[in-house]
């Protein structure tokens, strides 16, 4: 049933061929079509198979060296050495394989979590569904910031603009229409069609799904689905070059050991296998993989706290975050807004739950008018309008949800109101505009505009005031009084929405051409909306203070509202700490950089201002996390060191961000930062362990050769120790649980070396002490008993055991081994 060239067809024909209608498919039809067409998804890119992953483990210089040594042992008929060397190869390969496939699996699982939603009309009701469940014939509603979920033919567009760069390479948005087009057209010219994967950047529209899944244009372009390879993170780079450098050094030392021992009279095979064994034991081959694993485990732990790291590098940068710039609404607050105050010219209602009803008899016409405008000039939609109000599922902007609910308390319902005053056109709310307008036919078939928005905007557009149905002039004195009233409410932390209307209206297109006509509105009233703070926000902000992270609140709300909320949160909120968007736009970048440190609250800003805030902080050397949800937030999210999209945000914000907080909660960002710090901590622990463990054998053998002792360890013993002490404890250390103290320290500097001076000293001292003490033990027993095998056994056991004990002290670089619960990392015990 999916149809070709629907751009040539009329809307009616398209509906007919797809056997659908504007109010959507029925449940039965959807089920039947889902069976027939399958899921609306693209095939996943190729992932490395298990076999390839396993074979890749053999591609390492270490394995080549070992295999060479095994070959030579075979030639020289030294079978025990050969077996031990081969087991070393096998164990190395298995450990590498297990580690890498764990990391890979973890990351794949994470990728699958982001599920995109589509807003559809089915059975006459709008609802959000998983994009995968879309079928041909579905009616899709489009809003800015969302990706088009399938190939669709538009039948209704209002200034709908779509970025099709992903398909056509053209980065300029295309304005879409609904009329049929003639001829055989290339993608870019099919202006009445929308294609899967392209992004709505403005306006709104509705379309009918013509193709899904692999049938779509995107599905047919193979290159779109090829796997994107994750680039190495700076830490991974740094550590793989560190292990290469160390590897080279160790190889040189081993060459020296071999030559020196051979010329000092030791046998060729003995010296050869010994130096190979030392090389294998000392080269920290596990380092690079351990880092990947720690990052992947970090990502999994972050996910447990409801945040999704989209790029491995973010797991690492998180720990260095010094500034978190966060939206207020929904992130610091619950985003569950409620109208608690309605003020008109001569009435002031403080409301609780359904108190409206009880006061209804006393309310004037302006009061009802205000609520009516709130309901009509509103884009939120109720999924189950005919259910009980308390069960309503409302989608859309939280402010508008609150207005719908307020209206419902006095029996105002949009569907009913629109039967009398149907909507003709809309100027949607944007953070830049700060108001929304809808054009309606009124009862007498005149046109009327309803307006709601930020109070200063609406008052600026109004020249009169509605006094219970009578229209009076808005004198400067009255204006001043109204201003005082909304400021008083803002001071209480309420979000204020002002409502107005204009009768004898003209079409919006004409209005845009003659800006003077933006005035002449009749002001009706204010609504005060409460958005309670999340319970845990204050506590989390206190934690940030302790851990040297600065918090910056960014809001489109009024300065006074923002200040009141900042005060409640314990953020600096004096006049010098607050900057308004208008004031900011007068500052140049240098001026902003000079002030940025002091400012903890940005009020009445637009998403565009966020980019400047990120830039200013970065210019003074800070590592910035920035939250966002809309299309216009994308540039700031991209520019920030950690772009944080909220789970309820648009597709485009999620695609740009490196971290998605699934529950929208500020606390989750801070939790992710904590885990980022733990990642760095654990990488350090593994490095410390692997490096100090590596050098003790090198020291022991070199010194024994220099002093003319017999070799204190056999090659097979060295390899055995390496098997037991390198691979498994190292895996266990990657799983080390977080230490509480990580959030009591300042952020990790981005250029902080992994091996700092303290660690260098530790590595040196530990290698020397263990190397020399074991050599002393060996020598003592050898001299005392004259039994070389016994002395070697003693050396073997002590080197092995000492690493296994030492690994416990690597569990913390802060507290003593005796203060830690030895059982808190059970893997290490095993
Ligand atoms: P935050 O940054 O805290 O999330 P915000 O970005 O949601 O705040 P905006 O949405 O830009 O802030 O809102 C700015 C102002 O615009 C609000 O204070 C309110 O007065 C007004 N406003 C908010 N939502 C709407 C809406 N849907 N229709 C009309 N006006 C609105």
- Interval 187-203: pLDDT, tens: 888 999 999 888 888 88
Task: Compute and round to an integer the Cα radius of gyration of the chain.
Answer: 34
pLDDT confidence of residue 242: 80
Phi-psi region of 645 (alpha: psi -120 to 50; beta: other; left: phi over 0): beta
For residue 224, is pLDDT > 60? no
Query: For ligand 1, what atom is nearest to the CA of residue 605?
Result: 11
CA distance 495 to 147: 30
Atom of ligand 1 nearest to the CA of 496: 20
**Tokens coding 334:** 């619950």
Instruction: Tell me 441's DSSP state.
Output: E
- pLDDT above 90: residue 64: no
Helices and strands of the chain, counted as H and E runs: 31, 26
User: Averaging pLDDT over each range in 77-91, 560-574, 679-693, 744-758, which range is the top one?
Assistant: 560-574
pLDDT at 222: 47
Ligand 1 pocket: which of 143, 395, 433, 454 to mutate (most atoms within 8 A of CB): 454
Considering only 120-124, 471-475, 585-589, 810-814, which range has the smallest mean pLDDT? 810-814
Between CA 160 and CA 677 the distance in angstroms is 44
Ligand 1 atom, smallest distance to 327 CA: 2
Q: Over the stretch 243-255, which tens digit does the pLDDT of each residue have?
A: 788 888 888 988 9
Tens-place pLDDT, residues 358-376: 566 667 889 999 999 999 9
- If one residue of 327, 431, 528 were mutated to test the ligand 1 pocket, choosing by the most ligand atoms within 8 A of its CB, it would be 431
Q: How confident is the model at residue 380 (pLDDT cuts 50, 70, 90)?
A: confident
User: Reduced to 3 states, what is the DSSP secondary structure of residue 665?
Assistant: coil
Cβ(555) – ligand 1 distance below 6 Å: yes
Strands, E assignment, 653-753: 659-661
CA 417 to chain centre: 41
Q: Considering only CA atoms, which of 498, 486, 613, 500 is closest in space to residue 561? A: 486
**Ligand 1 atom nearest to 400, measured from its CA:** 27
pTM: 0.80
Centroid of chain to Cα 575: 33
Pairing state between β 139-142 and 624-628: unpaired
Dihedral over Cα of 68, 69, 70, 76: its sign: positive
Tokens of 522: 């009749």
Total residue length of the chain: 830
Helix ranges, 142-194 (H):
165-168
Does residue 433 have its Cβ closer than 6 Å to ligand 1?
Answer: no
Residue position matching structure tokens 């046998």: 267
* pLDDT given for residue 601 in this prediction: 96
- The dihedral region occupied by 582, where left means phi > 0, alpha psi between -120 and 50, and beta the remainder, is alpha
Residue range 26-59, pLDDT digits in tens? 999 999 999 998 888 876 655 567 788 788 778 7
pLDDT, tens digit, 9 for 90 and up, residues 670-695: 999 999 999 999 988 988 888 887 78
Compute φ and ψ for 610, nearest 5 degrees: -60, -35
Ligand 1 centre to CA of 434 (Å) is 6
> Given this model, what pLDDT does residue 102 score?
72
Which residue did the predictor score with more confidence, 225 or 182? 182
SS (H, E, C) 41-104: CCCCCCCCCHHHHHHHCCCCHHHHHHHHHHHHHHHCCCHHHHHHHHHHHHHHHHHHHHHHHHHH
pLDDT of 374 reads: 96
Three-class secondary structure of residue 530 per DSSP? strand
Give pLDDT, residue 722.
79
> 726: which 2 tokens?
């390198």
* Cα 198 from Cα 651, distance rounded (Å): 11
Asked whether 439 and 451 are in contact (CB, 8 A), the reply is: no
**Rounded Cα–Cα distance for residues 145 and 162 (Å):** 10
Q: Which of 474, 498, 504, 469 is nearest to 486 (CA)?
A: 498
Pairing assessment for the beta strands 193-194 and 139-142 based on DSSP bridges = unpaired
- Identify the pLDDT of residue 225: 42
Give mean pLDDT, residues 653-659. 85
Q: What would the mean pLDDT of 148-171 be, rounded to a whole number?
A: 84
pLDDT cut 70: percent of the chain above it: 93
Q: What is the pLDDT of residue 114?
A: 60
Average pLDDT over residues 545-561: 94
Cβ-based neighbours of 751, under 8 Å, separated by 6 or more: none
Q: 228: buried, middle or exposed (CB in 10 Å: 19+, 13-18, 0-12)?
A: exposed
Residue 312: is its pLDDT beyond 60? yes
pLDDT digits (tens, 9 = 90+) for 130-148: 888 999 999 999 988 788 9
CB 451 within 8 A of CB 434: no
Structure confidence at residue 776 (pLDDT):
94
Mean pLDDT for all residues in the chain: 85
| Residue bearing the bigger pLDDT, 60 or 521 | 521
Residue with tokens 């409460």: 530
**To test the ligand 1 pocket, which listed residue (453, 604, 626, 644) has its Cβ within 8 A of the most ligand atoms?**
453
> Which residues have a Cβ under 8 Å from the Cβ of 578 and sit 6 or more positions away?
559, 562, 563, 566, 599, 600, 601, 602, 603
Q: 431 CA distance to ligand 1 centroid (A)?
A: 6
Share of the chain above pLDDT 90, in %: 35
The gap between the terminal CA atoms of the chain, to the nearest Å, is: 60
Is the C-beta atom of 617 inside 6 A of ligand 1? Answer: no
> Which positions are catalytic?
327
Alpha-helical segments (H) within 394-507: 398-408, 414-420, 455-461, 476-490
pLDDT in tens, 425-455: 888 888 888 999 999 988 777 889 999 999 9
Q: Residue 406: is its pLDDT beyond 60?
A: yes
Query: What does the pLDDT read at residue 231?
Result: 61
406-413 average pLDDT score: 86
In degrees and rounded to multiples of 5, residue 287 shows phi and psi of: -60, -55
Q: What is the DSSP letter of 142?
A: E
Atom 2, ligand 1: residue with shortest CA distance: 555
Q: How confident is the model at residue 226 (pLDDT cuts 50, 70, 90)?
A: very low
How far apart (Å, rounded) are the C-alpha atoms in residues 798 and 770? 9
Instruction: Give Cα separations from 60 to 98, 244, 253, 276, 285 (angstroms).
Output: 16, 12, 20, 15, 9
Write out the two tokens for 432: 């830049």
Cβ–ligand 1 distance for 397 under 6 Å, the answer yes
Cα 400 to ligand 1 centroid, rounded to whole Å:
10
Residue 452 alpha carbon to ligand 1 centre in Å: 11
**CA-CA distance, 120 to 137, in Å (whole number)?**
11
Q: What is the pLDDT of residues 295-307, one digit of tens each?
A: 888 888 888 888 8
Helix residue spans in 134-201 (DSSP H): 165-168
CA–centroid distance, residue 440 to ligand 1 (Å): 23
**Rounded mean pLDDT, 557-585:** 93
Rounded CA gap, 535 and 443, in Å?
Answer: 46
pLDDT of residue 375: 95
3-state secondary structure of 327: strand
Yes or no: say if 280 and 88 are a contact pair by the CB < 8 Å rule: yes
pLDDT at 229 over 60: no
The torsion angles phi and psi of 652, rounded to 5 degrees, stand at -70, -40
């Amino acid at each position: 049933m999916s149809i070709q060239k629907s751009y040539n067809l009329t809307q009616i024909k398209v509906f007919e061929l797809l056997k659908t209608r504007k109010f959507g498919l029925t449940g039965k039809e959807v089920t039947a079509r889902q069976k027939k067409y399958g899921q609306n998804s693209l095939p996943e890119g190729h992932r490395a198979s298990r076999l390839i992953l396993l074979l890749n483990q053999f591609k390492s210089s270490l394995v080549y060296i070992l295999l060479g040594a095994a070959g030579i042992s075979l030639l020289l008929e030294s079978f025990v050495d050969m077996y031990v060397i081969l087991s070393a190869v096998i164990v190395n390969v298995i450990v590498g394989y297990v580690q890498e496939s764990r990391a890979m699996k973890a990351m794949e699982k994470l990728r699958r979590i982001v599920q995109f939603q589509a807003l559809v009309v089915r059975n006459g009701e709008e609802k959000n569904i998983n994009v995968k469940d879309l079928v041909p014939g579905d009616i899709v509603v489009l809003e800015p910031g969302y990706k088009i979920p399938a190939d669709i033919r538009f039948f209704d567009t209002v200034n709908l603009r779509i970025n099709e760069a992903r398909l056509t390479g053209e980065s300029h948005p295309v304005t879409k229409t609904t009329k049929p087009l003639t001829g055989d057209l290339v993608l870019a010219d099919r202006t009445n069609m929308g294609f899967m994967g392209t992004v709505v950047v403005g306006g709104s529209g509705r379309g009918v799904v013509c193709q899904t899944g692999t049938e779509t244009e995107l599905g047919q372009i193979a290159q779109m689905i090829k796997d994107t390879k994750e680039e190495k993170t700076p830490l991974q780079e740094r550590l793989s070059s560190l292990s290469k450098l160390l590897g080279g050094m160790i190889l040189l030392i081993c060459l020296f050991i071999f030559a020196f021992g051979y010329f000092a009279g030791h046998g060729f095979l003995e010296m050869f296998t010994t130096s190979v064994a030392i090389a294998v034991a000392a080269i920290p081959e596990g380092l690079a993989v351990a880092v990947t694993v720690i990052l992947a485990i970090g990502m999994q732990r972050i996910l447990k706290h409801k945040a999704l790291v989209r790029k491995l590098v973010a797991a690492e940068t998180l720990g260095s975050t010094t500034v978190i710039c966060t939206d207020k609404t929904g992130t610091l607050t619950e985003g569950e807004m409620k109208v608690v105050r309605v003020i008109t010219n001569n009435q002031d209602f403080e409301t609780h739950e359904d108190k409206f009803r009880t006061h209804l008899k006393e309310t004037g016409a302006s009061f009802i008018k205000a609520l009516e405008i709130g309901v009509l000039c509103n884009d939120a939609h109720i999924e189950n309008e005919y259910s009980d109000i308390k069960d309503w599922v409302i989608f859309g902007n939280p402010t508008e949800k609150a207005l719908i609910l307020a209206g419902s308390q006095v029996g105002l319902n949009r569907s009913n109101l629109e039967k009398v005053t149907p909507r003709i056109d809309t100027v949607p709310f944007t953070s830049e505009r700060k108001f929304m307008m809808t054009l309606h036919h009124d009862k007498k078939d005149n046109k009327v505009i309803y307006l709601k928005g930020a109070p200063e905007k609406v008052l600026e557009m109004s020249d009169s005031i509605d006094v219970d149905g009578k229209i009076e002039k808005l004198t400067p004195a009255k204006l001043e009084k109204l201003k005082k009233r909304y400021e008083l409410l803002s001071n209480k932390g309420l979000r204020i929405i002002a409502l107005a209307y204009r009768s004898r209206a003209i079409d919006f297109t004409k209005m845009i051409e003659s800006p003077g006509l933006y005035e002449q509105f009749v002001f009706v009233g204010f609504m005060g909306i409460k958005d309670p703070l999340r319970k845990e926000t204050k506590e989390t902000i206190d934690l940030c203070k302790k851990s040297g992270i600065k918090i910056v609140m960014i809001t489109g709300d009024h300065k006074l509202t923002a200040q009141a909320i900042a005060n409640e949160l314990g953020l600096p909120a004096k006049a010098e700490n607050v900057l308004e968007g208008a004031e900011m736009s007068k500052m140049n970048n240098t001026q902003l950089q000079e002030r940025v440190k002091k400012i903890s609250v940005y009020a009445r800003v637009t998403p565009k201002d966020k980019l400047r805030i990120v830039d200013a902080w970065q210019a003074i050397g800070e590592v910035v996390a920035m939250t966002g949800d809309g299309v216009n937030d994308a540039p700031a999210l991209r520019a920030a060191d950690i772009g944080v999209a909220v789970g309820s945000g648009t597709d485009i914000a999620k695609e740009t961000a490196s971290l998605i907080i699934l529950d929208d909660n500020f606390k989750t960002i801070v939790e992710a930062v904590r885990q980022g710090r733990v990642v760095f901590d654990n990488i350090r622990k593994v490095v410390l362990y692997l490096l100090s463990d590596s050098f003790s054998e090198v020291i022991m053998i070199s010194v024994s050769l220099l002093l003319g002792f017999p070799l204190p360890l056999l090659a097979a013993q060295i390899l055995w120790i390496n098997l037991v002490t390198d691979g498994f404890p190292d895996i266990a250390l990657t799983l080390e649980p977080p230490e509480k103290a990580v959030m009591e320290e300042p952020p990790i500097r981005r250029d902080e070396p992994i091996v700092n001076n303290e660690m260098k000293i530790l590595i040196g001292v530990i290698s020397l002490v263990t190397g020399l003490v074991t050599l002393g033990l060996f020598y003592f027993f050898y001299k005392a008993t004259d039994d070389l095998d016994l002395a070697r056994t003693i050396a073997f056991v002590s080197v092995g055991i000492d690493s296994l004990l030492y690994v416990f002290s690597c569990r913390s670089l802060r507290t003593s081994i005796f203060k830690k619960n030895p059982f808190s990392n059970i893997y290490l015990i095993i």
